[in-house]
Amino acid sequence: MAAQRKYSRNAFLLKAAALAAVAALVQGCAQTPAGTTTALAATPSEASVAAHVATATRAAGTDLKALLTLCQPAPAARPPQDALDKSLAGFINRPAPPPGQAFDNLYFVGADWVSAWAIKTSQGIILIDALNTQAEAASLIEGGMRKLGLDPAQIKYVIVTHGHGDHYGGAGYLAQKYRARVVMSEADWTMTETRLEFATPIWGAPPRRDISAKDGDRITLGDTSVTLYLTPGHTMGTLSPVFDVSAGGRKHRAMLWGGTGFNFGKDVPRLDAYIGATQRMGAIAQSQRIDVLLSNHSNIDGSQAKLAALRQQPAPAANPFVLGTPAVERALAVMGGCAQAQRDRFLL
């Protein structure tokens, strides 16, 4: 769930209160070439929070500001059921954007606030995420694929990035209809089978346990391999897929960050895991020259605006989804810096 935007009201108050301390503390953070920070201050304080926010803000530059919603204070508790149902209904009722093609082999078939991505391979389709409900899977995934000239019967795998219903809600339906294999991490299979972190009748039921992915596992279909990295934090079993895409015959490498928001309440070990995951994936982005960063929520990666740009004639010379490796590393530094700020807020 992208819960961050709901909790934005206090952000500026907090920033203002801490502003005076920023200048001193910013100097106390060691900055790596990739822009990640290591807190030198042992004791969390208003000043250390502000320093992490300042570092994340610097890493965001002018192009990655959307990610800074993550630096706004997160709630100490998960939303109550009625608040969750109400906000979800609002999200789901928004008109869906048109489906679109981001790369030669990558298609967007999502809703307004949550995305699903279809990777076309030589032997069928790998779908990443399955939206909120069976109805959305039918209208937006199946319907969207048909509009784009793709056959939903070719869906062989559904990778569910994490065990929240906005990503798995339509998975059971697609699995049953097309005999698609459903992939999720062991931790999130267990979570969906035992105690859902977020439960609402609005979402489709969790899919039946199928393939349990471990860190580094590959899903290979025809000419395409998707490597699944365990990036715990948003859930403890969040998977971030990494795969090749091409634009106009040029190859690029994409990472889809599998879970972004801090909507789990006051849970410092989770934030520690999140910080570690962003640092590790920053190193992987550098070593694998990952130059495309995608999300399963379009407010994070700006996918709707980018798809709209690609629909224009003539098409833009440069594919707007290609950020370049330094920007992907900065994005991970922003997310990690915001996680460090939130960790310190919880420890104050």
Nearer to Zn ion, 120 or 164 (CB): 164
Nearer to Zn ion, 1 or 54 (CB): 1
Which candidate, 103, 100, 102, 101, places its Cα nearest to that of 246?
103
Site string for Zn ion, 156-185 (x = CB under 5 A): --------x---------------------
Shortest reach from residue 44's CB to Zn ion, in Å = 26
Nearer to Zn ion, 52 or 164 (CB): 164
Task: Look up residue 168 and give its amino acid.
Answer: Y
Nearer to Zn ion, 132 or 319 (CB): 132
Provide CB contacts within 8 A for 18, sequence distance 6+: 46, 47, 49, 50, 53
State how far the Cα of 141 lies from the Cα of 134, in Å rounded to an integer: 10
Element (H, E) at 13: helix 11-26
Nearer to Zn ion, 52 or 162 (CB): 162
How many residues touch Zn ion under the rule CB under 5 A: the total is: 2
Shortest reach from residue 81's CB to Zn ion, in Å = 16
Cβ atoms < 10 Å from Cβ of 30: 10
Q: Is 114 in the site for Zn ion (CB under 5 A)?
A: no
Shortest reach from residue 234's CB to Zn ion, in Å = 6
Shortest reach from residue 242's CB to Zn ion, in Å = 19
Nearer to Zn ion, 18 or 92 (CB): 92
Shortest reach from residue 176's CB to Zn ion, in Å = 23
- The interface with Zn ion within residues 69-108 (CB under 5 A) comprises none
Shortest reach from residue 164's CB to Zn ion, in Å = 3
Torsion of CA 14, 19, 25, 27, to 10 degrees: 130
Nearer to Zn ion, 1 or 88 (CB): 1
Residue in this structure with the two tokens 């990443």, named with its chain if needed: 128
Nearest-CB residue to Zn ion? 164
Cβ atoms < 10 Å from Cβ of 317: 6
Shortest reach from residue 341's CB to Zn ion, in Å = 20
* Phi-psi sector, 245: left (phi>0), alpha (psi -120 to 50), beta: beta
Residue 253 has φ and ψ, to the nearest 5°, of: -120, 130
Nearer to Zn ion, 167 or 306 (CB): 167
Shortest reach from residue 251's CB to Zn ion, in Å = 30
Asked, as a colleague might, if the bond just before 314 is cis with ω within 30 of 0, I would say: yes
Query: Length of the chain, please?
Result: 348
* Phi-psi sector, 3: left (phi>0), alpha (psi -120 to 50), beta: alpha
Q: Which residues pair with 295 in a beta bridge?
A: 257
Residue in this structure with the two tokens 């082999």, named with its chain if needed: 105
CA 83-199-118 angle, 5° bins? 105
Nearer to Zn ion, 295 or 304 (CB): 295
Candidate residues 1, 51, 184, 339; the one interacting with Zn ion per rule CB under 5 A = 1
State how far the Cα of 70 lies from the Cα of 95, in Å rounded to an integer: 25
Shortest reach from residue 297's CB to Zn ion, in Å = 9
Element (H, E) at 284: helix 268-287
Contact residues for Zn ion, defined by CB under 5 A: 1, 164
